[in-house]
Amino acid sequence: MVDASAVRGLYVITDTTVNHDDELLSMVRQALEGGAAVVQYRDKSDAHERRRREAEALLALCRQYRALFVINDDVELAAAIGAPAVHLGRDDDDPARARARLGSHVVIGVSCYGSLERADQLAAAGADYLAFGSVFPSPTKPEAVPLPLATLAVAAERYRQPLVAIGGITPDNAGPVVAAGVDAVAVISGVFAAPDPRLAAARIADLFDSGAAGGA
């Protein structure tokens, strides 16, 4: 059984606007070889057959590397392939409905953006981990409101659930984020747009292995 304690370290999110199929698998494999502990499959297109094919292939790859595989947004896809985790945003199912569909063994993560009030509500509703951001300006969500590192530190003291920081995080700026006390940092372009994704992943993963996470 997978539990939320698996949400720790480098949490990579796929960029399926650029990579698909074999190329996508190659990029994710490099991130896993660099030390990624969590992989989220994020694809908001309506290409259902391709999305299921890619999700199944990534699930198998994550099992090979003993990493947690997360489906973004799509509870039905997660149920169809037996994914061990799903991540829900503002416009997705609430944790209670997702739990009823997926069962008690599936890890359910949620986006809290910069709101501790939202995090309170979702934690009470049964979310297994809480994601906060955007920590830095993000090319994926340029409209996101920046989140002070002090808010992450407050959240680290406030919640028993693992905390994930997201938004504009790279190997060069991840150190202070990890030091704020989060359990994981979520990265897209900071790994997948790097010249060497394996090395970029390793630089971030090493921050956790070296104890830079402070109280996390």
pLDDT tens digits, residue range 26-61? 999 999 999 999 999 999 899 999 999 999 999 999
| Pairing of β 68-72 and β 9-13 | unpaired
Cβ atoms of 83 and 59 closer than 8 Å: yes
Cβ atoms of 101 and 77 closer than 8 Å: no
Rounded CA-CA distance 30/199 in Å is 9
> With the CA atoms of 113, 114, 118 and 123 taken in that order, what torsion angle do they form, in degrees rounded to the nearest 10?
80
> For position 143, what pLDDT does the model report?
75
* Average pLDDT over every residue of 148-167: 96
CATH 3.20.20.70: does it fit domain 4-208? Answer: yes
Cis upstream peptide for 134 (omega within 30°): yes
Residue 160 is among the residues annotated as catalytic for this protein: no
Looking at the predicted structure, is the pLDDT value of residue 145 above 80?
A: no
Query: Measuring CA to CA, how many Å separate 64 from each of 3, 96, 140, 202?
Result: 18, 30, 28, 18
**Banded model confidence at residue 214, pLDDT cuts 50, 70, 90:** very low
Rounded CA-CA distance 199/135 in Å is 22
Select which of 111, 134, 198, 203 is catalytic: 111
pLDDT tens digits, residue range 49-92? 999 999 999 999 999 999 999 999 999 999 999 999 999 998 87
What is the DSSP track for 48-95? HHHHHHHHHHHHHHHHHHT-EEEEES-HHHHHHHT-SEEEE-TTS--H
pTM of the predicted model as reported, rounded to 2 decimal places: 0.93
Select which of 42, 51, 198, 203 is catalytic: 42
Select which of 53, 141, 158, 189 is catalytic: 141
Residue 45 is among the residues annotated as catalytic for this protein: no
Residue 111 is among the residues annotated as catalytic for this protein: yes
Classify burial at 195, counting beta carbons within 10 Å of its beta carbon; exposed 0-12, middle 13-18, buried 19 or more: exposed
Domain spans in the chain, listed from the N-terminal domain onward:
4-208
